[in-house]
Amino acid sequence: MTSTLFQRLYLPGIAVAVFLLLLPSEASASYALEEWNMDTRQNLPLVLKIWLGAMLVANLSSVFFVKNHIAARWVLSAWLVSHAWIAFLEGTGAYTVQGGLVSLGHIIVWSPAIYALYRYRADFSWPSPYGGWVCAMLVFYGVSLIFDFRDAAIWISAQLG
């Protein structure tokens, strides 16, 4: 039953992502080659601010599950690493942080967390607070990674000339 529930979560997530990709508005615009700084973040469309805020809450909610669930430890670690390296780059000015670079980082850093959510799916039960959190993380990661793959590809292409 757990595997079926995992599979059922991916289809709605993919449908939402495809819908957002097809929107002819700035909500679906790529930020791959734009500098990713506080000005950019503050000027995002409201729908993206809400999405990022909800995703932040979901990621930080992992602290409630880290004691009993290995996957929650991976998610929290991925969130910390994904923010630490961007903060380092921004703080040192070593590299101009662009949206596509952030997206590439998400792909690299979130992959182990996604694998952990799958690997430790036996810990998942529905309905439960942990089960709801796992569902939320899979939807957030699944939808976000669709955009991250697109933006990372744009950024890599621009870097290669």
**52-98 confidence digits (pLDDT tens):** 999 999 999 999 999 999 999 999 999 999 999 999 988 898 888 99
Measured CA to CA, the distance from residue 135 to residue 93 in angstroms comes to: 37
Q: What is the average pLDDT across 110-130?
A: 90
**What is the distance between the alpha carbons of residues 78 and 41, in angstroms, rounded to a whole number?**
20
CA distance 79 to 17: 21
CB 110 within 8 A of CB 145: yes
pLDDT at 15 over 80: no
Q: What is the pTM of this model?
A: 0.80
Determine whether 152 is exposed, middle or buried from the number of CB atoms within 10 Å of its CB (0-12, 13-18, 19+).
Answer: buried
Sign of CA dihedral 10, 144, 71, 134: negative
Decide if pLDDT at 124 tops 90. Answer: no
- Which among 81, 96, 92, 99 has a CA at the least distance from the CA of 41? 99
Residue 149 has pLDDT above 70, yes or no: yes
pLDDT of residue 29: 56
**Strand partners of residue 98:** 35
* Residue 65, number of CB atoms within 10 A of its CB: 19
* The predicted structure's pLDDT at residue 102: 95
Length, in residues, of the chain? 161
pLDDT of 6 higher than 60: no
Give yes or no for residue 8 having a pLDDT over 70: no
Q: Average model confidence (pLDDT) for the chain?
A: 85
